[in-house]
Amino acid sequence: MKHLLLVFLGGGLGSVLRYGVGKWAGGSWAPFPLGTFTVNILGSLLIGLIMGLALRNSSVSQSSVLFLVTGLCGGFTTYSAFAYENYNLLKNGDLLTFSLYTLGSLVLGFAAVFLGIWLGRLLS
C-alpha cells in the first residue's frame, strides 16, 4: 500500500509540474509543440539522472525510485520511461528489440492518436 501511495503522490506532483512547464514553455512556437517537447526532454534528463544516481548509490531506496521515477517522471511524461528503456536496450546490444520498440511506439502511437480523433469525431 505504501508503494501505491508513493506512486500516486509522485504522479500527482509530476502532472502538476507537466502542466506548469508546458504552459511556461508552450508559448508562441506553434505549430511546433514546444511545451510537450520541453517536458519530454526534461523528463528524459530527469529519469536518467535519477536512475544514474540510484544505480551508483545504494543508499537510494526503492521507495525513492518509485516516488521519483515511476510517480514523478511517470506523471510528468511517459516519454522519459520510453527513452530510458531504449537506452537499456541499446546498452544490452538488443538492436532488434530497440528498433521494433522505437518504430512500433512511434507508428502505433501516431496511429492511435489518429484513430482516437477519428472515433471521437464519429461518436460526437
User: Is 19 among the domain residues?
Assistant: yes
3-class DSSP assignment, residue 43 = helix
Cite the annotated binding site by residue number: 74, 77
Q: Containing domain of residue 35, as a range? A: 2-77
User: Is 102 among the domain residues?
Assistant: no
The model's pLDDT over 84-119, given as tens digits with 9 standing for 90+, comes to: 889 999 999 999 999 999 999 999 989 988 898 888
User: Is 105 among the domain residues?
Assistant: no
User: Is 122 among the domain residues?
Assistant: no
User: Is 107 among the domain residues?
Assistant: no
- Rounded to whole angstroms, how far apart are CA atoms 89 and 13? 29
User: Is 54 among the domain residues?
Assistant: yes
User: Is 14 among the domain residues?
Assistant: yes
The model's pLDDT over 27-44, given as tens digits with 9 standing for 90+, comes to: 555 666 788 888 988 999
Q: Whole-prediction pTM value?
A: 0.75
User: Is 36 among the domain residues?
Assistant: yes
Q: What is the DSSP string of 44-109?
A: HHHHHHHHHHHHH-TTS-HHHHIIIIIIIIHHH-SHHHHHHHHHHHHHTT-HHHHHHHHHHHHHHH
Domain count across the chain? 1
What are the cell numbers at 88?
537499456
% of the chain with per-residue pLDDT over 70 = 94
Cite the annotated binding site for Na(+) by residue number: 74, 77
